[in-house]
Amino acid sequence: MASFYISEIFDSIDGEGKRTGYMATFIRLTGCNLRCSYCDTIYALDREKDAVEVLSENELYSCIKAYPWKRLTFTGGEPLLHPLINLLNRLGQEGYESNIETNGSVPLLEEKLDGRRPDNVFYTMDIKSLSSGMSQQMRWDNMKWLGPKDVVKFVVSGDKDLDQMKKVIDEYQLDGEGHPLVYVSPVFGAIEPKSLVDYVKAHQLANVCVQVQLHKVIWDPTMRGV
């Protein structure tokens, strides 16, 4: 039976990505295969130790249904380390839209579904920056499954990370039609957001969206469950 190791479930605005500012239900699952230098969810890295509860698929489904929102954000940790497919299919058929926030180092759902994706699912996939210390862990094969509904996200600390972003954008031709949306945000407190705007302007990256993590602006940046 599928088990889900839960860090927290709550509702709030999406703080980043293409649904920024809209209410969603968040399901934070524990366990991550990476250890990024700037990780802000270190309380959810160890699957068993950090879980506050373990739910069956039906129990998690009921928790989700208790919230009024049709937008879901599965995050972590690394949510794709959990057996999500059946749950996503059920929810997708009921009109829920699921955002899977993945770290880019593990196979996407299509690998297990012969190239298919559960209905009403999109990915927000990190491209790990050099400063994360995890850039070598990227699974570049994932890029072939991403389309215009999906987001690739760069979290940057400085110029080297920005140059790496530009290289990836050029290599995968992400600055054009029919490709995933591209978002860049600063590691909180490590670089002025203005530097990102300057970079995007200087390199004429017309389709790169600069953003800050809205929840860290609205609330104390260390606050959980918001």
Residue ranges that bind ligand SF4, judged by CB under 6 A? 32, 34-36, 39, 41, 45, 76-78, 103
Specify the residue, 39 or 209, whose C-beta has the smaller distance to ligand SF4: 39
Contact 29, 6 (CB under 8 A): yes
DSSP 165-178: HHHHHHHTT-SSTT
Toward ligand SF4, which CB reaches closer, 8 or 119? 8
DSSP 8-state secondary structure symbol assigned to residue 202:
H
**Residue whose CB is less far from ligand SF4, 120 or 216:** 216
- Least gap, CB of 111 to ligand SF4 (angstroms): 18
Q: Give the nearest distance from C-beta 40 to ligand SF4 in angstroms.
A: 7
Between 50 and 97, name the residue whose CB sits nearer to ligand SF4: 50
CB of 202 to ligand SF4, least distance (A): 28
Q: Closer to ligand SF4 at the Cβ: 28 or 96?
A: 28
Residue with tokens 């649904």: 19
Least Å from the CB of residue 38 to ligand SF4: 7
Cα–Cα dist 191/114, whole Å: 41
Is there a contact between 205 and 168 (Cβ–Cβ < 8 Å)? Answer: no
What is the number of H-type helices and E-type strands within the chain?
5, 9
Cα–Cα dist 62/163, whole Å: 45
The Cα 89–Cα 16 span in angstroms is 24
CB of 28 within 8 A of CB of 8? yes
CB of 36 to ligand SF4, least distance (A): 3
